[in-house]
Copies of this chain bind each other. A is one copy, B any other.
Amino acid sequence: MISAIPQSDHALEETPLQRYESIVKGGRLVIPFLGELRGDLGIREGRIVAIAEEIPASAGESVIDARGMMVFPGAVDSHYHVGIYRPHSEDAESESRSSLVGGVTALISYFRTGQNYLGTTGPYREIFPRVLALSDGHFYTDYAYHLAIMDSVQLDEIEMLVDDFGIASFKFYMFYKGLNLASDSTAGSAYTMAENYDLGHLYRMMERITAIAAQRRTAGRISLSLHCENPEIIRVFIEEVKRHGPGGLAGYSRSRPPLSERLSIHEAGVLADATGCPLNLLHLSSREALQAAMEIRTRYPQLDIVCETTLHHLALTCDTAGGIKGKVNPPLRTRADAEFLWQGIHSGRVDTVASDHACCQELDKDEDDLWRSLPGFGGSALLYPVLLSEGWHKRGIPPVRLAELAAANPARHFGLYPRKGTIAIGADADLALVDPGKTQRVHAAALHSAQEYSPFEGMELTGWPVATILRGQVQYKDGEVVGGKIGRYLKRPLPGE
């Protein structure tokens, strides 16, 4: 025996033989930034405590047989809207349940005051504890919240939210300045229940976030997420589309054109450069949007800019989403736009892929009235299936890169890494066991969501989770939800060990 530390005067104490609560055995591990490799995992108290080429089955109280499976880190679905159109607790239950189907084990949901959600306004000191109370005991996955800062009272709460509630990411919706969510009213402030929700407010938010990010430098990244669509441009395009068409989703895309994204991104870039604020550019939907994001990255190379796209902007177009139910902000675009986004994934320009999941039931979608229909729909249940089928099988993007997009990067950029988003000792045993060859058509019924339909309906996908494991507990298996509402609130930064 070698002792590399001569100065140590204590002998190494013998530790007892290691036993595990469960073992994941025989699978092919997909480890972000490392690659794929054969290995077994030993799990204790919900954490991965051993990664080894072989762990004897006998060392575990239970064994999960992963032979033939790829073992991904549980996805971190970092763009989500729990409770936007339905009662919060109820939505949390049905939708986090649905997320398990997609291999998701943690989600980060956006919350704001104003219309929809709780339909209220006021300081987060009062409201956010209500959100946490409505959440507690209702999630099948772990969860965190990004908070939108809607008024100047909330502006003064940013520091408190970081320190007391572990909020590490905030949000600004660039189009609420002059448009409501459904795009059928320009009375933005009636919708936000806030005055002065404009670029000036955004500037102040950036200043605050930058200052706090600087003070809490060791506490991980603190950032601002942006929904980049400019409502003033949208206003005139809606007028045009209402007058001259086209109808349907093509009209909706035309009414909120890529130019509105591009303009917003340039506006945001100027303000971020002036303040230094770290940004997350959400759900980039079009060639123009991703190009604009690249332009501000090139122009302001010192800025920290994370680029997100969504499952539906990658996999759907305004022609394939089955009509007005596919209404979403920003809209579904063309096949060429989607391919440009895939290229962005290929070349490393896109950092994260999320679902932007918003359960929107049929009664809120009126096939006869594009404008009144509420935007958004669910997709979290398809996170790994769509990425693996469309990304890996069809376009050759390696599985490890997809695990980075869906798990490791969202975790890194939102203060959860490496406890979430990867496979490592010390990390939570959040895993998606994927059968890489399993082929299945999308049927809404199999997604376990409260949403009765899916814009992805009928799409044939290859590569489905057959088990989803949260902190060592099998929550979903062979198409059935087998676990319980054990999800925990994730106060950020999540301690690494």
Partner of A12, one of B25, B44, B497: B25
> Residue A466 contacts which of B5, B274, B496 (CB distance < 8 angstroms)?
B5
Per-position 1/0 for A1-24, Cβ under 8 A of B = 111111010101011111000100
Inter-chain CA distance A425–B34, complex, in Å, is 10
* A37-B424, A51-B51 known; A62+B233 contact, CB < 8 A: no
Q: From A186, which residue of chain B is reached at the shortest CB distance? A: B196
Query: Which A residues, 396 to 452, have Cβ-Cβ distances below 8 Å to chain B?
Result: 417-418, 422, 424-426, 433, 435
Q: Which of these, B65, B198, B269, B298, contacts A301 with CB under 8 Å? A: B298
Which of B62, B65, B236, B294 meets A203, CB within 8 Å?
A: B236
Known: A5-B67, A233-B199. A52 touches B425 (CB 8 A): yes
| Docked complex Cα distance between A494 and B38 (Å) | 17
Q: Is residue A347 within 8 Å, beta carbon to beta carbon, of the partner chain?
A: yes
Closest Cβ of chain B: how far from A295's Cβ, in Å? 8
> What's the Cα separation between A326 and B429 when bound, in Å?
52
Least CB separation from A412: chain B residue: B33
Interface members, chain A 35-82 (any B CB < 8 Å): 35-39, 42, 44, 47, 49-59, 62-69
As for how many copies of this chain the complex holds, the number is 4
A284 at interface, CB cutoff 8 A = no
Q: Is the CB of B1 within 8 A of A62?
A: yes
- For A349, the closest partner residue in chain B by CB is B301
Stretch at the interface among A91-99, A116-124, A259-267, A456-464: A259-267
Kindly identify which residue among B33, B51, B235 contacts A200, using a CB–CB cutoff of 8 Å. B235
- Residue-wise, chain A 258-293 has the 8 Å CB interface mask toward B (1 for contact) of 010011001101110010000000000000000000
Known: A14-B58, A63-B12, A422-B34. A6 touches B236 (CB 8 A): no
Residue A209 is within 8 A (CB to CB) of chain B in the complex:
no
Task: Determine whether A134 belongs to the interface, using a CB cutoff of 8 Å to chain B.
Answer: no
Q: Are B198 and A3 in contact (CB under 8 A)?
A: no
Q: A34-B422, A203-B233 are in contact. Are A270 and B263 (CB under 8 A)?
A: yes
Candidate in A62, A198, A298 with the most chain B CB atoms within 10 angstroms? A198
Q: B16, B65, B271: which contacts A2 (Cβ < 8 A)?
A: B65
> In the complex the two chains form, is B6's CB within 8 Å of A478's CB?
yes
Q: Per-position contact with B for A335-348: 1 when CB-CB < 8 Å, else 0?
A: 00000000000010
In the complex, the answer to whether B37 meets A425 with C-beta atoms within 8 Å is yes
Q: Is the CB of A18 within 8 A of B51?
A: no
Distance in angstroms from A204 CB to nearest chain B CB is 6
Question: What are 11 A-B pairs at a CB distance below 8 A?
Answer: A2-B63, A4-B433, A8-B65, A17-B56, A18-B54, A18-B56, A37-B418, A177-B232, A201-B232, A294-B301, A302-B347
Instruction: List 6 A-B pairs, minimum CB-CB distance, nearest first.
Output: A50-B52, A200-B236, A33-B33, A199-B232, A198-B232, A200-B232
New A-B contacts (9) at CB < 8 Å, excluding given A4-B467, A263-B267? A2-B467, A12-B57, A50-B53, A51-B51, A52-B52, A199-B230, A203-B232, A266-B270, A295-B299
